[in-house]
Amino acid sequence: MKDQPNDVPQGLVIPGLQDDARSPALRIFLVVSVSSGLALIWPVYPFAADLQPFVLGLPFSFAWVVGWLVVMFGALGLLYRTDEID
C-alpha cells in the first residue's frame, strides 16, 4: 500500500493531556518528573552536592539522590491510582 497525503496533524498528539478528567493528574506528574530530573543534574544538584549534613548515615549528596528516587516512587504510585482501569 502506498501512503497518500492526508489530514495528518502537524503537531504532537497527546490524548491524555487533551482529556479533561485525566489532564490535571498527568500535568502534576510531568512537573514532578521534570523537577526530579533537573534536581539530579547541573544546575540544581550542585546546591546539594556537599558531604554534610548526614541523612540516615549517608552523605547529603548521596541521600539527595536516594530521596528523589523515593519521590518518584511516590509520584508513580499516585499516578497509577488515578489512572483509569482498562
Partner 1 sequence: MPEWAIILLICGLYLALVLGLGVGAGRTVSASVDGYVAGDRTLGVVVLYFVLGASVFSSFAFLGAPGWAYSRGAAAFYIIAYGTVGMVPFYFLGPRARQVGEAFGFVTQAEMLAHRYDSRTLSVVLAVLSVVAFVPYLTLQMKGAGLLLETISAGVVPQWLGALVAYGVVLVYVFASGMMAIGWTNTVQGLFMMAVAWFLGLYLPETLHGGIQPMFEAIAAEGKTAMLEAPGLAADGSPWSWAGYSSAVLVSAVGFSMWPHLFMRAFTAKSDRTLKLTVVLYPTFQLFLVPILLIGFAGVLAFPDVSPPDTIVPHLLTQIELSPVLVGLVCAGALAASMSSGDAILHAAASIGLRDGIKPLLSAPMSDTRQRQWIRGLVVATSATAYYFAVFSEVGIVALLLGAYGGVAQIFPLVFAAFYWPRATGPGALAGLLAGIGANTLFLVAPQLRPVPLHEGVYGLVANVAVFVTVSLLTTPHAWDRLRAYTHSDRLSADEPAAS
Return all residues near 62 (Cβ < 8 A) that are at least 6 apart.
none
User: Does 37 help bind partner 1 (rule: CB under 8 A)?
Assistant: yes
Closest approach of Cβ 54 to partner 1, in Å?
Answer: 5
Q: Let me know: does 48 contact 61? Beta carbons within 8 Å.
A: yes
**What is the pattern of x (binds partner 1, CB under 8 A) and - over residues 57-76?**
xxx-xx--xx-xxx-xx--x
Q: Is residue 4 at the binding interface for partner 1, with CB under 8 A as the rule?
A: yes
Q: Please report, in angstroms and rounded to a whole number, the separation of the first and last CA atoms in the chain.
A: 33
* Binding of residue 53 to partner 1 (CB under 8 A): no
DSSP string computed for 28-86? HHHHHHHHHHHHTSTTTGGGG--SPSPBTTB-HHHHHHHHHHHHHHHHHHHHHHHSPP-
Q: How far is the CB of 24 from partner 1 (least distance, A)?
A: 16
Q: Which residues bind partner 1 (CB under 8 A)?
A: 1, 3-16, 33, 36-37, 40-42, 45-46, 48-51, 54, 57-59, 61-62, 65-66, 68-70, 72-73, 76-77, 79-80, 83, 85-86
